[in-house]
């Protein structure tokens, strides 16, 4: 009575998800047909054959099979010699070779192994045994432990990749000098808040802040000194914001932009004045500037966005106000 090894609980051994590519080298079409039938319904096995031994090596190099099934007796050719030539060929020397021969003498088997074969089956082999040996030599069998280990590794890598992506995303939104939001993040946020304000018919405010006489600051303290001043200014502006939805960004050069969602004109004015005061408190020397210290000019704009309009309206308004603040003597906010 035969025992069904495939029934019942999950086996200790499972197959890898990879395809096994088999190349049969045999001059007899009958043998090819027999083997083809044995592997035909196996979804993990891909079957190829070559009848002309003169073309075997070339076919194998092109196909890169997972395993070669090699006949021994072919008109004018010796299978042992072919195996030797596979072993000398860099692209084939590691491909497992299973001899498939009518010769069943032990001496022939011994010779097969001696020239580099990995296995030896007498023709015509039993189907189950052939499949098992093909899979065994292809490394298709893995233990459940190995499989679980591989899946765990895959899941872990995917998780790490996702986390790295989030980090990259965050970095891509930050200004590398000051560490606050960059222009790209500002543009995204402004558009989002503009659309939200439009839907909810709520006011949206924007402050454009420009450091006064910064060229002179650079001229006095050098470019590195200027960079440090920009970092401190960015930190001060960020600290002036009270609501989580408020955003301070580096708009470019020595200019900063502050988005204040759901904030009316008086509210925006209060934030602007706080920014001016906080920066002055740092008392960073700028001999050529107003009061001899680093100050800001701020343009303030507030709008309840009309349907079908773009946030550039708000930016243009704040820009005009900033220009006015510079014209009126700097270190001030103009609405
Ligand atoms: P105003 O009061 O009219 O704004 O005068 P200003 O000198 O600040 O204005 P201007 O736009 O003429 O000069 C801005 C300067 O900011 C010029 C540029 O060298 C400097 N700047 C821009 N980006 C950086 C930066 O990343 N680091 C440093 N150190 N300086 C910068
Ligand atoms: Mg033959
Ligand atoms: Mg400027
Ligand atoms: Mg300036």
Does the annotation mark 200 as catalytic? no
Mean pLDDT of the chain: 93
Task: Identify the pLDDT of residue 1.
Answer: 41
Task: Identify the pLDDT of residue 4.
Answer: 53
Distances (CA, A) of 11 to 15, 18, 115, 143, 145: 10, 18, 35, 9, 11
77-105 pLDDT, tens digit per residue, is 999 999 999 999 999 999 999 999 999 99
- Region 163-176 average pLDDT: 90
| CA–CA dist 149, 81 (Å, integer) | 41
Tally of CB atoms within 10 A around 67: 25
Q: Which of 132, 70, 72, 64 is nearest to 94 (CA)?
A: 64
Using the predicted structure, report yes or no on whether residue 153 has a pLDDT greater than 60.
yes
CA trace torsion 226, 314, 267, 188 (10° rounding): -70
Nearest ligand by distance to the CA of 329 = 1
- Region 112-140 average pLDDT: 94
Task: Identify the pLDDT of residue 141.
Answer: 83
Task: Identify the pLDDT of residue 243.
Answer: 96
| CA–CA dist 7, 221 (Å, integer) | 82
Residues with CB under 6 A from ligand 1: 177, 210-215, 218, 223, 226-227, 230, 253-254, 326, 330
Contacts of 216 (CB under 8 A, 6+ apart): 286, 287, 288, 289
58, 254, 255, 274: which is the annotated catalytic residue? 254
CA–centroid distance, residue 263 to ligand 1 (Å): 29
Mutate which of 179, 215, 256, 286 for ligand 1 pocket (most atoms within 8 A of beta carbon): 215
257-299 pLDDT, tens digit per residue, is 999 999 999 999 999 999 999 999 999 999 989 899 999 999 9
Task: Identify the pLDDT of residue 309.
Answer: 95
Task: Identify the pLDDT of residue 6.
Answer: 52
192-210 pLDDT, tens digit per residue, is 999 999 999 999 999 999 9
Task: Identify the pLDDT of residue 140.
Answer: 83
Distances (CA, A) of 20 to 122, 131, 133: 21, 11, 12
5-54 pLDDT, tens digit per residue, is 554 444 566 777 778 999 999 999 999 999 999 999 999 999 999 999 99
From first CA to last CA, the distance across the chain in angstroms is 96
Task: Identify the pLDDT of residue 323.
Answer: 98
Mutate which of 226, 233, 254, 279 for ligand 1 pocket (most atoms within 8 A of beta carbon): 254
What residues have their beta carbon closer than 5 A to ion ligand 4? 210-211, 214, 254
| CA–CA dist 32, 49 (Å, integer) | 7
Task: Identify the pLDDT of residue 12.
Answer: 60
């Amino acid at each position: 009575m035969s025992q069904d090894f495939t029934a019942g609980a999950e086996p200790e051994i499972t197959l890898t998800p990879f395809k096994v590519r088999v190349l049969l080298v045999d001059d007899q079409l009958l043998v090819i047909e027999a083997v083809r039938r044995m592997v035909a319904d196996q979804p993990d096995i891909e079957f190829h054959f070559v009848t002309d031994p003169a073309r075997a090596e070339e076919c194998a190099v092109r196909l890169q099979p997972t395993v070669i099934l090699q006949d021994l007796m072919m008109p004018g050719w010796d299978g042992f010699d072919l195996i030797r030539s596979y072993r000398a060929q860099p692209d084939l020397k590691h491909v497992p070779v299973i001899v498939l021969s009518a010769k069943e003498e032990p001496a022939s088997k011994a010779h097969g192994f001696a020239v580099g074969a990995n296995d030896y089956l007498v023709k015509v082999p039993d189907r189950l045994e052939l499949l098992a040996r093909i899979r065994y030599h292809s490394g298709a069998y893995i233990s459940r432990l190995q499989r679980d280990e591989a899946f765990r590794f895959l899941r872990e890598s995917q998780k790490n990749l996702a986390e790295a992506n989030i980090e990259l995303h965050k970095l891509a939104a930050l200004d590398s000098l000051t560490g606050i939001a960059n222009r790209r993040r500002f543009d995204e946020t402004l558009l989002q808040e503009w659309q939200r304000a439009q839907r909810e018919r709520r006011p949206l405010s924007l402050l454009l802040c420009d450091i006064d006489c910064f060229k002179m600051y650079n001229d006095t303290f050098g470019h590195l000194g200027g960079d440090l001043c920009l970092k401190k200014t960015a930190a001060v502006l960020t600290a002036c914001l009270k609501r989580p939805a408020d955003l301070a960004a580096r708009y470019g050069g020595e200019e900063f932009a502050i988005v204040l969602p759901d904030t009316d004109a008086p509210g925006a004015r209060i934030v602007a004045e706080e920014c001016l005061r906080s920066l002055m408190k740092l008392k960073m020397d700028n001999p050529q500037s107003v009061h001899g210290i680093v100050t800001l000019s701020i343009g303030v704009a507030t709008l309840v966005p009309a349907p079908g309009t773009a946030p550039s309206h708000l930016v243009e308004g704040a820009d005009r106000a900033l220009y006015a603040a510079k014209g009126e003597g700097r270190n001030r906010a103009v609405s």
